[in-house]
Amino acid sequence: MAPAMRLPWKRTLEPPKGFAGRHGTAKSDFRHSLWQFARWVGPALMVSIAYMDPGNYGTDIGAGAGYKYDLLWAGWLASAMAMLLQYLSGKLGIASGHHLAELVRQSLGGKRRYVIPYWLAAEAAAAATDLAEYLGTVLGLNILFGIPLIYCAIFGALDVIILLTMMTRRFRLIEQYFAILISILVIGIFYDLLVIGHFDISQVAYGSVFPLARDNTALFIAVGMIGATVMPHALFVHSWLSKNKMDLLGTPVNGATKAASIADMSAKTGENHHAYTAEQRHATNRLHRNETIIALSIAGVVNAGILLVAIPLFQGYGVNVNLTVQSFVAGMSQIYGPAIGILFALTLLASGLSSSALGTIAGQVIMEGLIGKRWNIWARRIITRMINVFPTTIAILLGLSPLVLLITSQVILSLMIPLPMIPLVYYTSKTKFMGALVNRRLTIILALVTVALILAFNGLLLTTLV
């Protein structure tokens, strides 16, 4: 008979070795809670990069350069909606032991005539996401090293070697990789803000609260900001990350947490998830909620920071047809010194590399969950990247602006948000999937308002384009 599975919270009933204080005191309880949180950190941290990816850079630069403080509200609104939806996604994995793509397949009865179209649409969203990530890597290389864009398009495709080598190793290594790149990104943007430091606080407050779009282009950028923030692939992958992190922490081997690669974690089906008690699920969900709030709050501030950094460099309102990421960085370097421009380009490169890794994981999760097939992760990543390399290279040869491509890709993503969003809100509001963690009435109301707002923005944009 197989030994009973040891649960993560059984391992932490007593303070870890080296912790001072007696168990039960306020000081030791705080350290105990801090230790639990430190062990959990990872899922929301990884997902947060979707909210600081090159697509965000493109839409935030376009918003700040073209419309100054006017579109700050769109960034904050998108961040708030993303925080709620990512919380629901992670909670779904913790409560049900299944991730979103698996539940969608079950709801469609596994019938190929329904599953295949849904899967193809989800893959299209993943491809649009990868386009922005790839462009971020290309632009970062171009600005940092002065390599022509056409060659950067080739070199940028080679990031698959780095990513795929990592993904065959311990999953914790990937979490650490994300932590390093996110640290570079966050510190770089905050430093740029401190150096620039001249912002009209009253305009910041007004632009953050009052929704204003001066023209259709402003609306286009605002919808792009929502698409760059509420990412379809992130909604799919967060439920998978939280489910597997919970089960992984609960499966110690020889007294230590089991080392697992992407392939190991993909093979888990959640069949042992039922062993957790309601109390343990609630405890895990509190950790998940706190991590999501912290990680996505930082991401929201970073996005606002990118928008604010762009404001002083261009005068007037409306789209600047000569605006490119390269001219933006050149302007920063001229006004504030070369170090600022280089640091910004470095954060863009870090954003492209880290978001590419998340996109690869999300693509694998979507495919396995919806059609039950596991591709070789190398083949999948190479094919996905090649899909974007050719059109991007052609666009560069034709002289199209990478910034315009970035913003357009994010608008496409906004139109695809309902694909995972609507089933996510449905599942998390049903007791048969969530048990005691089912959404409360206030959460359901906020979720429905979020769905309505995103559909309304998308509909308004479509009417302006017709």
Residue 386: pLDDT over 80: no
Quote the pLDDT of residue 36.
86
101: confidence class by pLDDT, cuts 50, 70, 90: very high
Task: Please give the torsion angle defined by the CA atoms of residues 129, 131, 134 and 136, in that order, rounded to the nearest 10 degrees.
Answer: -80
Q: Report which listed range, 48-57, 263-272, 274-283, 290-299, is most confident.
A: 290-299
- Indicate the angle between helix axes 216-229 and 441-465, nearest 10 degrees: 140
Q: List, in order of start, the domains of the chain with CATH numbers.
A: 61-311+326-465 (1.20.1740)
Write the CB contacts of 279 (distance below 8 Å, at least 6 apart in sequence).
Answer: none
Nearest to 45 by CA among 172, 165, 159, 145: 172
Quote the pLDDT of residue 265.
54
Q: Are 347 and 325 in contact (CB under 8 A)?
A: no
160: number of CA atoms within 13 Å, CB side? 20
Mean pLDDT of the 389-398 span? 66
Quote the pLDDT of residue 442.
96
Q: Is residue 449 helix, strand or coil?
A: helix
Please tell me the distance from the alpha carbon of residue 14 to that of residue 196, in angstroms, as a whole number. Answer: 48
Across the strands, what pairs with 129? none
Q: Are 250 and 271 in contact (CB under 8 A)?
A: no
Quote the pLDDT of residue 273.
61
Mean pLDDT of the 59-79 span? 89
Across the strands, what pairs with 257? 252
261: confidence class by pLDDT, cuts 50, 70, 90: low
Say how many Å lie between the first and final Cα of the chain, rounded.
65
Quote the pLDDT of residue 246.
86
Q: Report which listed range, 109-123, 187-201, 288-302, 303-317, is most confident.
A: 288-302
Average pLDDT of every residue of the chain: 78
Quote the pLDDT of residue 422.
94
Quote the pLDDT of residue 2.
40
Of the listed ranges 36-50, 63-77, 170-184, the least confidently predicted one is 170-184
Q: What is the DSSP string of 263-283?
A: HHHHT--STTGGGS-HHHHHH
Quote the pLDDT of residue 176.
76
Between 286 and 182, where is the model more confident?
A: 286
Residue 217: pLDDT over 70: yes
Between 41 and 253, where is the model more confident?
A: 41
104: confidence class by pLDDT, cuts 50, 70, 90: very high
Size (the chain), residues: 466
Please tell me the distance from the alpha carbon of residue 431 to that of residue 429, in angstroms, as a whole number. Answer: 7
Q: Are 66 and 221 in contact (CB under 8 A)?
A: yes
Q: How far is CA 255 from CA 11, 252, 281, 391, in A?
A: 9, 6, 22, 50
Of the listed ranges 112-121, 263-272, 328-337, 383-392, the least confidently predicted one is 263-272
Amino acid at 113: R
5: confidence class by pLDDT, cuts 50, 70, 90: very low
Q: Are 217 and 26 in contact (CB under 8 A)?
A: no
DSSP state, residue 198: -
Q: How far is CA 425 from CA 11, 90, 292, in A?
A: 33, 12, 17
Nearest to 225 by CA among 121, 82, 87: 82
How confident is the model over 184-205, as pLDDT tens digits?
888 888 888 888 767 888 999 9
DSSP state, residue 25: S
Q: Are 96 and 274 in contact (CB under 8 A)?
A: no
349: confidence class by pLDDT, cuts 50, 70, 90: confident
Between 121 and 324, where is the model more confident?
A: 121
Nearest to 311 by CA among 296, 291, 328: 328
Helix (H) or strand (E) holding 263: helix 262-266
Instruction: Count CB atoms within 10 A of the CB of residue 334.
Output: 12
Instruction: Count CB atoms within 10 A of the CB of residue 213.
Output: 19
Between 4 and 127, where is the model more confident?
A: 127
Quote the pLDDT of residue 148.
81
Entry pTM: 0.81
Alpha helices in 311-376 (DSSP H): 325-336, 338-371
Q: Is residue 79 helix, strand or coil?
A: helix
DSSP state, residue 314: S
Phi-psi region of 146 (alpha: psi -120 to 50; beta: other; left: phi over 0): left
Between 320 and 11, where is the model more confident?
A: 320
Q: Is residue 21 helix, strand or coil?
A: coil
Rg (CA), the chain: 22
Q: Is residue 252 helix, strand or coil?
A: strand
Q: Report which listed range, 165-169, 367-371, 409-413, is most confident.
A: 367-371
Phi-psi region of 97 (alpha: psi -120 to 50; beta: other; left: phi over 0): left
Please tell me the distance from the alpha carbon of residue 134 to that of residue 354, in angstroms, as a whole number. Answer: 11
> For a pLDDT cut of 90, what percent of the chain falls above it?
23
Q: What is the DSSP string of 132-172?
A: HHHHHHHHHHHHHH---HHHHHHHHTTHHHHHHHHHTS-HH
Mean pLDDT of the 355-372 span? 81
Residue 3: pLDDT over 70: no
